[in-house]
Amino acid sequence: MAWFDFFSMNSPKRIPTDGGQSIGHNPFEGLSSDGLPPAPECSPAHAGPGAEVKPKRKNRGRVDILRQTAGRGGKTVTVAKGFIGIGLPEKEQLAKAMQKACGTGGTVKNGQIEIQGDKRAEVARILTEANFRPVFAGG
């Protein structure tokens, strides 16, 4: 007897997946909800069809916020780095919003956003509004 004959003898019968035949007996088929307390109220996201559903805000990932002074002539700069999945145009748009909110200048360099001054709280607020998860890192 060949090894493939052994496996073909011991394999279970295949169940068709075309939906023609029921797989088995449903043990919950005969149950009723008589005598049970009413179901709790649920949010519209969990309600049935026809209910207004708000899309859940997707977390776009972690972004580190640093304060740096090294190599900048003693000037403090807030750096947001670690963006995943966004391109240069979106980073420039975020940088522009940060500059406007902070009232300072800034730029996008090497894939990270640099804002002049120690503006970590304002930068974190803008990143949170853009569905990122800001994390204060470094000093």
Count structural domains, the chain. 1
Nearest CA-CA partner of 72 in 125, 124, 116, 126: 116
Q: How far apart are CA 103 and CA 43, in angstroms?
A: 40
Predicted TM-score of the model (pTM):
0.58
Q: For residue 5, is it within any domain?
A: no
Q: For residue 113, is it within any domain?
A: yes
The CATH number that applies at residue 131 is 3.30.780.10
| Mean per-residue pLDDT pooled into runs of 10, the chain (139 residues) | 55 61 68 81 60 65 92 91 90 93 93 93 93 87
Q: For residue 125, is it within any domain?
A: yes
Owning domain of residue 120: 62-136
Q: For residue 74, is it within any domain?
A: yes
